[in-house]
Structure 1
Amino acid sequence: MMSHSRTRRLLALLAALAATLSLAAGCGGREAQTGQEAKQINIGYIAWDEDIAVTYLYKELLERRGYTVNATELEAGPIYAGLAQGNPDLFLDGWLPSTHEDYWKQYGPQLEDLGVWYDQATLNIAVPNYMTDVNSIADLKGKGAELGGTVTGIDPGAGLSRTTKEALPAYGLQGEFTLQTSSTTAMLAALQKATDERKPIVVTLWHPHWAYARYPIKDLQDPLGAMGAAEQIHAIGRKGFSQDFPEVTDMVKKFRLTDQQLASLENEINSAAKGQEQAAAKKWADANPDVIRSFAG
């Protein structure tokens, strides 16, 4: 998910221009040859771990059914603008009601909401499982010295960073803890080092994320709701998608992943070498036949 701040309206207004440039290379303008009869589909995806994971899972499953699948990575704005123009056909990572709110307000009437496949997209403060006396954000009070007074975060401009800065005072932690921002990569490296050495650490994280499958960590309870409510991840099609792709629509509408299933899929793909994402998706699908049967027959 989100190493970026929440989408701003200006970005949404500029998306159409960006789409004109980006989509000219392969995404933008309805392509008559796509559809179930032609067995061809264009999927747009953003560079967020869960979208990469599910896009390559769908690519693998649809190619097994004889489809030609063109998967193209773009920013969110150009994808929404492209969907409104008719290309790509499908986007599997629509964060609503908040993160992609501006895009949905602008383009939603021209799109098809194909349903929610994940409903626990949350922002979190997390610690290792072995910190057994810390189970709520409130439990951090009085532990600043033990933890170096630091909450290890991601980019300073991320929405998660802003939310965490607002949450610390809600729990009376503003004088005891400081959010240390850097990057997602740096945060994950610090988390791995701490858990390898079984040392205490507090980090900012979000669901869905593969770190929950790789490291022994837990989210801290947030009884005050200071980190915000859960969002939903929607599959979104261009106008006419369900009519042109009835078989894929049936798959998408049945598609559901639990937090554990999605984390394990992300972890499988994140652990693969660059360019081997689909091979990793195939490996995960073969190891989870019951999950695949639940939506893909």
Structure 2
Amino acid sequence: MSRLIRIDDDIYESLKKLADPFEDTPNTVIRKLLAHDLSSIKGGIKIPPRTPETGRIKKGNATPQLVYEEWLMYILWKEFQGRARKKEITSAVISNMQKNELLKEVDFVKVSTGETRAENKIAWSRNRLKEEGFIVSNSPAGIWELTEKGIIKAKNIMPTKSQSEDDIEKIESSRVTTQNPAGHVFEYMVHNARAKMIITESNLYSILKGSTALKEEKMSIPENAKRTRENLILSGILVTNLRGLLEFTKNVEFKSPSAASAVISGSSTDGWICFKDRNGKTLKHYRKK
């Protein structure tokens, strides 16, 4: 039996920080917290653990989020004229992505919400697109509907039929900034590394000379970012400084902010959120609406 509870905004934000992206809900985060806090209580409440099949997977194995977002908008317009019930559009998106061989076995594994990973990512896609103004935020429960801006965007979408990193990067780099903040310097700080970036007139993302990056790489680092780091090191553009960090000896341009942030952090990151201006506004604030 499910019960409706209300929580304060600050508590909700704290739960978000503890969540596994695309997998957790507030309920599953609380469940894990209870399992941790009550584990030492003799005869305490038994909280069902997450099974191995709902565990996290390495990034790069499942279909990227951006691909789901693109197909959701495309199918919502093409097959439903911009308005559909959640169950119908979810099924249609999965069916079309299957036909184009975009889904993998791991996309059909159930996550902690009880949904398949594909269903969960489609739901997250709807939330992301709603934040960007492409999907109506106050539609009746269970109804997903494109805004006027979303319809214009959807009409011009040619959904990717490939999962190559180059194609994913093209999707992201197409979301250029409309208020090109000329002269703005964005910073990304991760641990003891600090990188500065500007956006060029041609909408490239230039990491400035003197910026630093973490030397250690994580398993989640995209292959493109790994190769870029290797090439920059071999060419002497990234060198190890006295602090044990990698330092840029010249400006380096990237096609997308996430490509830049991945090289800096040595892991898979969202550059739209990582880079901030001096007022604390993320690069996402300047993204084309």
Tell me if TM exceeds 0.5.
Answer: no
Relative CO higher for 1 or 2, CA cutoff 8 Å, sep ≥ 6?
Answer: 1
With the shorter chain as reference, the TM-score category is under 0.3
The normalised TM-score by structure 1 is: 0.27
The normalised TM-score by structure 2 is: 0.28
Structure holding more strand per residue? 1
